[in-house]
Each structure stands twice: as C-alpha cells, then as structure tokens.
Amino acid sequence: MTYRILFVDEQKTEQDDFVDYVEKHSEFEIEPVTCLPLSSMEEMIMEIVELNPNALITDFMLNDIKQDVKYNIPYNGVELVNEFCVIKKGFPCFIMTSHENQAISQSEDVNIVYVKKLFNNEDPENTSFIGKVVEQIKHYHKHLETAQSRISELISKRNQEPLTCKEEEELIMLDSLIEGSIDNRSSIPNEIKKMSNSQKISDLITRADILISKFEQLNEKLSK
C-alpha cells in the first residue's frame, strides 16, 4: 500500500525539504503531497478532504513568513488539526514546528508535535518520525477494520437472535466510530441511537400491557 501524506506549509522551500526527506526514506511506500495554507479554514478543510491523504502533517506557524503566501492565514497548525479532526475523528495528524513549547501548550495531544529540523538533520533517528507516521496510519486503518468486522458480527447475530444490552451498546459505539471516521459532522448522536433502541423496547412493553389487560378482561367475563 502507498501512503499518501499531505504536508501543509506556507514556505515552498519547507515543502521541498519534506519531499526530499520522504524520498531519502524509500523503505516506506509514501506519496508526498504538499499544499500552501489557504486564506480561510473552510477552504483549507475542503482542500484536505479533496486531496484525500492518509495522514496530515502541518506546520504550526502558518502565517509566519510571507514569501510564497501573500494573504493572511487566520489559523495555525494546531487549529487546523483540531478543525479537521472534527470531521475525521482520530485521523493521523502531526504538527511540525520550530516553536515547540508554544505548539505543545496549544495542542490537545503533545505527542503529535515534532521539531521541524528533523527534515534537515541527517541523524539516523530521522527515520523514527516518518516511521511513526506510517505506523499511525496502519494503526488507524486496523482500528477501523476491526470495528467494521465486529459490526458485521453483531448484525449477523442480531438477524438470528436478540442482542444483549451490552452488545447493543457495543454496536452503537462501533457504528459511531465508523461514522466519525467518514464525516463526524453528520454522525447521529449516541443518545438518539439509544432512544431509537429504547423506543423499540417501550413499544414492546406497551403492546404487552395491552395484551395483559385484554387477557384480564377476558378472564373476568369468563368468571361471571
């Protein structure tokens, strides 16, 4: 499998460094894709979705150097990652920066922040970064594949017999996981799914109460 990795940076020289860095590590099957940050968050998110990468790497200070970008960038890399993960929950994202402490203080996950000099440093440990990106992609896809497999299992069982309450909860959770990986904005809240399931139970109880009431009325008539 070839992994399509998108790198967002306001400097084309930094984009070239990223491509060179990836090409040096030919042991990984990677298609590097680069992109300048766009003038609005909405446009940028749409562009990422359109490019359809397997992972997103972005610079932190996207509005820092006005050499290749002549317009204002109203967001930084942390904000871009946070916004994109609203759509693609759990998607592999990484932030490269020369301002490590500032990026870490703003990021919800400090483990996705890396020092930008990795691209220029010939230290053998360089391999560990791109290796982590690839492993994170694999982990993400494996997680989704496992969830899809378990959903198929539970649906197959439900076609044969009722699921337990625990299994129904698991099915709802896994369904939300898959929805969130496609477009989390259009996911149905778990509460609604539970309400739908509870409504089925409530309908059954109501019908049972009606049957019991009719049965009791019939017994009263027969006893007279």
Per the structure, the count of domains in the chain is 2
Mean predicted confidence (pLDDT) in 178-197: 62
pLDDT tier at 185 (50, 70, 90 boundaries)?
low
pLDDT (tens digit per residue) in 65-87? 889 998 999 999 999 999 999 99
Residues 92-105 have a mean pLDDT of: 90
Query: Average model confidence (pLDDT) for the chain?
Result: 82
136 and 150 both lie in a single domain = no
- At residue 181's C-alpha, the angle toward residues 193 and 146, to 5°, is 85
Q: What pLDDT does residue 201 have?
A: 43
Q: 13-24, pLDDT tens digit by residue?
A: 999 999 999 988
Q: Is the pLDDT of residue 148 over 60?
A: yes
Q: Which residue is associated with the tokens 């299994």?
A: 167
pLDDT digits (tens, 9 = 90+) for 203-224: 444 544 454 454 455 445 444 4
Which pLDDT score is estimated for 34? 97
Nearest CA-CA partner of 102 in 41, 58, 60 = 60
Q: What share of the chain is helix, strand, coil (3-state, %, to 5)?
A: 60, 10, 25
Res 189: pLDDT: 52
Of 120, 140, 160, the last residue of a domain is: 140
The DSSP symbol for 75 reads: -
**Could you list the residue range(s) of the whole structural domain that residue 210 is in?**
145-223
Q: How far is Cα 64 from Cα 101, in angstroms, rounded to an integer?
A: 16
pLDDT at 139 over 50: yes
Residues 101 and 194 in one domain: no
**Percentage of residues in the chain having pLDDT higher than 70:** 77
pLDDT at 129: 87
Question: Which of the residue ranges 40-44, 99-103, 139-143, 149-153 would you say has the lowest mean pLDDT?
Answer: 99-103
Residues 13 and 113 in one domain: yes
Q: Which among 86, 117, 140 is the end of a domain?
A: 140
Q: β-strands 93-97, 113-115: how paired? A: parallel
3-class DSSP assignment, residue 189: coil
- Please give the residue that has the higher pLDDT: either 121 or 63: 63
Are 47 and 115 within one domain?
yes
Same domain, 45 and 131: yes
* pTM exceeds cut of 0.75: yes
Residue-wise burial string across 179-218, b where 16 or more C-beta atoms lie within 10 A, e elsewhere:
bbbeebeebeeeeebeeebeeeeeeeeeeeeeeeeeeeee
Residue pair 14/119 in contact (Cβ under 8 Å)? The answer is yes
Mean pLDDT, to the nearest integer, of 123-152? 85
Distance, in Å, from the CA atom of 20 to the CA atom of 122, rounded to the nearest integer, reads: 12
- What's the pLDDT score for residue 66? 85
DSSP 82-138: HHHHHHSTT--EEEEES-HHHHHHH-S-GGGEEEGGGGT---TTHHHHHHHHHHHHH
- 39-48, 60-69, 179-188: which is most confident: 39-48
